[in-house]
Structure 1
Amino acid sequence: MNLCCAVVDNAPVVAVGADGQETVTGNSLKPLEEMDNLTDEMFNVITELDTCYSDMTLLEERRISDIKERLCILEEKVLIWDSDQLMTSDMDSEEIAKYLQAGDELRQLIEHLGNLQSSDKDGEQIELLNRSHSIMQMAMSRLEDVLVHLLVQHRQPVEPDHMSFHSTEEDIVTDYSSSSFDDESIDGEIQSDAGRDSEDFVIDLIHPSAISSLKSIAELMFQSNYDKECCQAYISVRKAELDECLAVLGMEKLGIEEILRMDWNVLSIKTKWWNRAMKVFIRVYLVSEKHLCDLILGNITRSETDYCFVESSRNSIMQLLNFGEAVAIGPPKPEKLFRILDMYECLNDLLVDVEALFPGEYGSSILTECHEVLLRLSESARGSFMEFKYAIRSNTSTTPFAGGRVHPLTKYVMNYIKALAVYGKTLDLLLEDLHENDQISAAEDDRRDTSVHSSPTAWHLLSVTSILESNLEVRSMLYQDGPLQNFFMMNNIYYMFQKVVDSDLQNFLGDEWIRAYKRKFRQHATSYERASWNPVLSFLKDEGICSRGSSTPSTTVLKERFKSFNLALEEVYRIQTAWFIPDVQLRDELRISISLKVLQAYRTFLGRYSVHLDGTRHRDRYIKYCPDDLERYLLDLFEGLPKSLQCPYWR
């Protein structure tokens, strides 16, 4: 186009912009040659501008030609390097770098085409842009495949060597948490999960040699406005890898209904796996996953990086939380309490880690879910504890427990609360607002040391011992034998006392409780001795030995006294050798106490009156036992093995 072409009424109407575009104002244009009123200076300026514009047009045409040529070269590179070639196992970082260079050059070329301004080349420019975008789409599709391939091909083993998670069956033992409250054959200690602390580890989930290429691919895809495709590919691969991590950690995918229908003995073991899996998954794998995400996508916007990490890990973390929720919403049972407390403490300890991993709006839903599951677990723990107390009250029987032994209920309850002492701080939080319908009796309440029993846990444990004692008193009434009632209470109160003295329970129940229960078991022991042995020893009293008005003992009375003593002794021996005191110290103390009373009375009576039976026919029928024999026989008591006395002989 000839720029110098028109003026109207001696006024130029052509204006040339710096960009080479002409702007026409005024009326109709005239050829420059027909304008006689132009000065030489004006003509020279216009001519120079025309020449400049022509040069610019030629330059732009040459530039478009160069772009076409370069585009052909780039298209050839993209088409030659197909996906299969790019994903061969021997592909190195240099090969990928060359492809990335071609992709980046294509991106810059598209940018340049978009910035060009040319009125008569618009059609060609649009055609070039469309063609460039088509080639770019092919290149990005191939890069997406490469990204996926590298993420899969260079993944590292999901279990770090220094944290072997495999466990033998012996590690997952069945304890009181897997036992029925009504199973009266239970004995032993409750075993709670140990080792709540866990270190954080960062491991290489992707081999370091692939990180640079992955990072470059992601950056180019984002710069080329293929950020969504890049994120989707990354999330898809990493999500599958984290699911695989859970499988390695022993967490299978289970629906809530499946978990609710599961036998508690099986579910109890799975909750142990859950505790361990949560710690390792969050503090090792998710920390490492976050690190990997930052390495690959860290140069991109923070929001995009957070989005990819959250979406990659959402499914797996929700799988773990769903398991926790399913366990929590099941019916409250005493045997569930320890596993629920373990789960609560585990998740509560991990909240800080979760908050650090999932900050901002993308992670808010996961944090909310964690708090919801924690709330469910706390409600389940409170419900299970109250069910435990109710079960003690309602656990009744119509038949006495054989031999006056320590009742399984006593063992269960005391071992149960002994294990609960480990969770004192957690229970203080959970039981703080929990009020009892049945309060401890006023007398028991008056004896409480408020400085010791100020915590909710201490108060509730104290109430458990009171409920248990009341239950035992009712059970003792099932014995027709009065001495056995006291013997049974002595055994069980002593067991309660010893469990507290030998454990952290004394820190909750306090010295006053210990002194009170020490008095109680001794009172029951004294009552037992009196009820059992006073009738036996009554035959060894001096009263009534001599006839009225005579100072000489009656042989007939002496025979009757010795005979009655022997029969009473043999009956007690026959019965009480079947009774059982499991604690050796208590058993020895009671035997010694009985021996002192019986032997002293027998030796005294024997020393005074045996001479009056000398020469009596069948003397050994009346004086059947010497003191040494008697002492030896008393050592057979409380072994739980019924015996009968054989007629001894004098040495």
Structure 2
Amino acid sequence: MRNICFHPKMPSWASPSRTATTPPTPSSQPSGGSSSGHGLSVSEIDKIIQEASEMVEKWDPDATSYARVTSLFYENKREAAQFIKCVNSLHRAMKVLVVEDSSSPKLLVAHGLMVIAMKRLQKELYQILSMNRAYLDPESVSARSSGVSARSSTSDYSDEGLPEDGARAAGDSIVEVEEASAVAMADLRSIAECMIVSGYAKECVSIYHVIRKSIIDEGLFRLGVEKLNHSRVRKMEWEVLDLKIKSWLNAVKVSIRTLFTGERILCDHVFGSSEAIKETCFSAISREGAMLIFDFPELVAQNKRSSPEKMFRLLDLYIAISDHWPEIESIFAFDSTATVRSQAITSLIRLGESVRAMLADFEASLLKDSSTTMVPGGGVHPITVHSMHYLSLLTDYANILSDIFPDWPPPSKSPLPESYFNSPHPEDGQVSAISQRLAWLILILLCKLDVKAKRYKDIALTYLFLANNLRHVVSKVRESNLNGLLGGAWIARHEGKIKQFALNYVRLAWEPLLSALPEDPSAAITPAVARDHFSSFGASFEEAYRKHSSTIVSDPKLRDEIKFSISRKLVWPYQTFYDAHKMTVDAATIKLAPDDIGNYLSDLFFSSGNSNNSPMSSPSPSSHGQRSGWPN
């Protein structure tokens, strides 16, 4: 396409008029006969008219039934070439006669023959365009011009496991289509050049326009492109509009790479002799359909949709146009198709405006959030899930967002730490701006979570809520493009906060159980005191288990970390005390063995908060299959 469409633009010039005369190119005088002074002798003119008369009258579509129903270019290629040659010579002779003797009877005869010849060529042009639609469809033309050889096509089929005979047949079929396409394009060019030179450019373009515009219109119809207006789009249900957007995304790809590209190639080839006619013809054929294509994104962008998720469809539309912009600029490079380029740019501008507005709405919704909903068990809040899902999807469009937000700095007056706005990639200013803004949006979310955490009456649950939600945030950052945008330092800093929140939960919820044991678990004490400590610790553990039976720790890694931290705090002191005093008391007094602590904690956290039983009322999930010393 670049070789074909990106060429220096030649000066435009008007198509020749039927009555206009052009001075003949000086040439040497022919040998024999008196010269007319314009390169043709009288005898040569007579010979040209005589030969043209025989050829033209033979193929006069009104003279015989044979000529009326038979295609000259299909019947005899050699004679068709001779016909074109006779017409060109006749036109040259007519130009000489106009200069020499405009009242000459020969000029009237020649003009009559030219009228018949042009009528024949119009018929041939129409027949070739109509009968070769399969070989002149935009896909075939663009594929042929792309330089894909039949050999490589055959190899592709062979690679797919096609039998050798099948591969050969496929290759032969491709060669046949390419040859038929090449022949048809050559015939069209020879007819067009002959008609244009003879002053019949208008008739030639008219026939070409009718046939080829129908190809464009039919192609767009098959792609599902339809004429819409703002009112109709505004009234559509989102599900319907979403389907139309998906259809458009496919349509724009096919129409640009195949439909309009093929049509531009064909038009450039057929009317290669005239830049002005080429431009006029292609513009008339393609402009309406192209405007229909590129008007749709603007209609969608103007349609107000409250849900931020709709923004991703707008970004898809933006990418489709921006990715195809080099091809759009190349195909519609003519001045007369500037409106197509302008509409594509307008759609990009409107889409960008809508994206900026929708992202501002998302930020405003975060800032204004004042919901009092509390998540049972300190689990992940819906606002965390929704916001991080939205932001992680947004990073898939980071490159295009840098185009839409070329100067998207954080708020100039912010009470938040400046460290959140330090670019992880200072060498890339555009990406840095996006990174800073995303960090800002996440920080807004975290601030809102801090407020929500304070609504829990149990301070330990407050820290568990913060740990759960920050873990979800960091996990989404790790598994999405946010990782590259925010950087490892951001992740490490927030991982440290998660760890601290989890430790605070363990300290407030489980460390108080240690008060049921003596400061020195191995110190000598009386059996009665030991019995009181065993009883007190078991009751405290049961109470803590029951109290936290509704807690939720959905992240496996965080769950393991909390369980390990609790076990480390409780098991070693209790194990020491258990080993030192278990023989001094009645076995029935000991309701909890050291191994049971880990088993109950697994049951507590790995049951996702669904355990409502206490250690006193349900069997321990002990590896020994029974509780050590616990009453039935």
Which range, TM-score by smaller chain? 0.7 to 0.9
Task: Return 5+ residue gaps in structure 1 as ranges.
Answer: 1-51, 53-58, 165-202
1:226, CA displacement in angstroms?
Answer: 1.7
Aligned residues: 538
Matched residue, 1:302: 275
Distance 2:367 2:441 in 1: 9
Structure 2 counterpart of 1:200 = none
> Residue 140 of structure 1: CA displacement?
5.4
**1:387 partner letter:** D
Specify which of 269, 293, 303 is matched with residue 320 of structure 1.
293
In structure 2, the partner of 1:85 is 69
Q: 1:233 to 1:147 in 2, by over 3 A?
A: farther
Q: Deviations over 1:519-564 (max 9, x none)?
A: 2111211121122113333323459xx9xxxx96594x76665444
Give the structure 2 partner of residue 589 of structure 1. 561
- State the Cα distance separating 1:586 from its structure 2 match: 1.8
In the TM superposition, 1:426-575 aligns within 5 A as 426-434=400-408, 440-442=414-416, 444-446=417-419, 448-450=421-423, 452=425, 455-542=432-519, 555=528, 562-575=534-547
The change in CA–CA distance for 1:503 and 1:146 in structure 2 (over 3 A counts) is closer
2: distance between equivalents of 1:205 and 1:491? 68
2:48–2:86 Cα contact (<8 Å) kept: no
- Separation in 1, partners of 2:206, 2:72: 22
Change beyond 3 A, Cα 1:157–1:224: closer
2:623 aligned with 1:642, yes or no? no
1:487/1:115 Cα in 2 relative to 1: closer, same or farther (>3 Å)? same
Displacement of 1:107 after TM fit?
4.1
* Cα distance change, pair 458–73 in 1 and its aligned pair in 2 (3 A): closer
Q: What residue in structure 2 maps to residue 623 of structure 1?
A: 590
Deviating more after overlay: 339-348 vs 223-232 = 339-348
Amino acid in structure 2 at the alignment position of 1:352: P
The whole-number CA distance in structure 2 between the counterparts of 1:87 and 1:439 is 79
Question: Is 2:326 aligned against 1:352?
Answer: yes
* C-alpha distance after superposition, 1:204-249 (max 9, x if no partner): 697222122211211122122221222222223222223333445x
- Alignment of 1:374 with 2:355, yes or no, is no
Q: Give the Å deviation of 1:125.
A: 7.9
Alignment CA distance shift 1:225-1:591 (3 Å): same
Letter of the 2:372 counterpart = T
Secondary structure class of the residue paired with 1:340:
helix
CA distance, structure 1, for counterparts of residue 107 and residue 189 of structure 2: 32
1:38-437 equivalences under 5 Å are: 74=56, 77-78=59-60, 79-80=62-63, 85-86=69-70, 91-94=75-78, 96-97=80-81, 100=84, 103-104=87-88, 107-108=91-92, 110-111=94-95, 114-117=98-101, 135=116, 138-139=119-120, 141-152=122-133, 154-156=135-137, 158=139, 207-248=181-222, 250-257=223-230, 258-268=232-242, 270-298=244-272, 300-331=273-304, 333-395=307-369, 397-434=371-408
- Report the secondary structure of 1:343's partner residue: helix
Distance 2:262 2:138 in 1: 13
Please report how far the alpha carbon of residue 462 of structure 1 lies from its aligned counterpart in structure 2 after TM superposition.
0.7
**CA displacement 1:606-650 (0-9 Å, x = unmatched):** 455556644xxxx73x52111122221111122213142226343
- Asked if structure 1 preserves the Cα contact closer than 8 Å seen for 2:424 and 2:487, the reply is no
Q: Secondary structure at the match of 1:524?
A: helix
Mind listing any 5+ residue stretches in structure 2 that lack a counterpart?
1-33, 35-40, 154-176, 620-626
- What is the CA–CA distance in structure 2 between the aligned matches of 1:492 and 1:563, rounded to whole Å? 36
Per the alignment, in what secondary structure is the counterpart of residue 603 of structure 2? coil
Between the aligned partners of 2:73 and 2:600, the Cα distance in structure 1 is: 87
CA–CA separation in structure 1 for the residues paired with 2:95 and 2:450: 91
Give how far 1:301 is off: 1.4
The amino acid of 2:562's aligned partner reads L
Is the 2:216–2:289 Cα contact (8 Å) retained in structure 1? yes
Amino acid at match of 1:344: Y
Give the partner amino acid of 1:327: V
Could you tell me which amino acid in structure 1 is paired with residue 516 of structure 2?
A: F
For the 8 Å contact 1:86–1:96, the answer to whether it is kept is no
> What corresponds to 2:13 in structure 1?
none
Q: What displacement does 1:460 show?
A: 0.6
Residues 409, 437 of structure 2: 8 Å contact kept = no
Alpha-carbon distance between aligned partners in 1 of 2:88 and 2:48, rounded to the nearest angstrom: 17
Deviates most, 281-290 or 368-377: 281-290
CA contact (8 A) 2:138 2:258 kept: no
Q: Is the 8 A contact 1:345 1:426 kept in 2?
A: yes
Helix, strand or coil for the counterpart of 2:605?
coil
What is the aligned-residue RMSD (CA, Å)? 4.1
Secondary structure class of the residue paired with 1:152 = coil
User: What SS does the aligned partner of 1:337 have?
Assistant: helix
Following TM superposition, by how much is the alpha carbon of 1:465 offset from its aligned partner in structure 2, in angstroms?
1.0
In structure 2, how many angstroms separate the alpha carbons of the residues matched to 1:207 and 1:104?
A: 25
Cα distance between partner residues in 2 of 1:77 and 1:421: 68
Matches of 1:285 and 1:376 in 2, distance apart?
Answer: 26
Q: CA deviation at 1:64?
A: 9.8
Q: Percent identity?
A: 28
Q: Is the 8 A contact 1:404 1:487 kept in 2?
A: yes
C-alpha spacing 1:70/1:208, structure 2 compared with 1 (3 Å): closer
Secondary structure of residue in 2 paired with 1:638? helix
Per-residue deviation, residues 366-424 of structure 1 (Å, max 9, x unmatched): 22222212212221222222223233334554332233233343234334333433433
Determine the structure 2 residue equivalent to 1:9.
none
Residues 553 and 418 of structure 1: is their aligned pair in 2 closer, same or farther, counting only changes over 3 Å?
same
Distance 2:228 2:179 in 1: 28
Distance in 1, Cα, partners of 2:123 & 2:359: 59
Q: CA deviation at 1:65?
A: 13
Q: What residue is the counterpart of 2:37 in the other structure?
A: none
Q: Quick one: distance in 2 between partners of 1:302 and 1:89?
A: 26
For the 8 Å contact 1:389–1:464, the answer to whether it is kept is yes
- Offset of residue 507 of structure 1: 3.3
Query: For the residues of structure 1 that align with 2:179 and 2:493, how far apart are their CA atoms?
Result: 61
In 1: Cα distance, 2:134 partner to 2:512 partner: 89
Q: Is the Cα contact below 8 Å between 2:377 and 2:551 reproduced in 1?
A: yes
- Give the distance between the partners of 1:289 and 1:593, measured in 2 at CA: 71
Alignment-mate amino acid for residue 626 of structure 1: A
Offset from partner CA, 1:95-131 (integer Å, 9 cap, x none): 644654565466456545534537xx68x78976885
Give the Cα–Cα distance (whole angstroms) in 2 for the partners of residues 451 and 377 of structure 1: 29
Whole-Å separation in 2 of the counterparts to 1:406 and 1:463? 20
Aligned partner of 2:8 in structure 1 is none
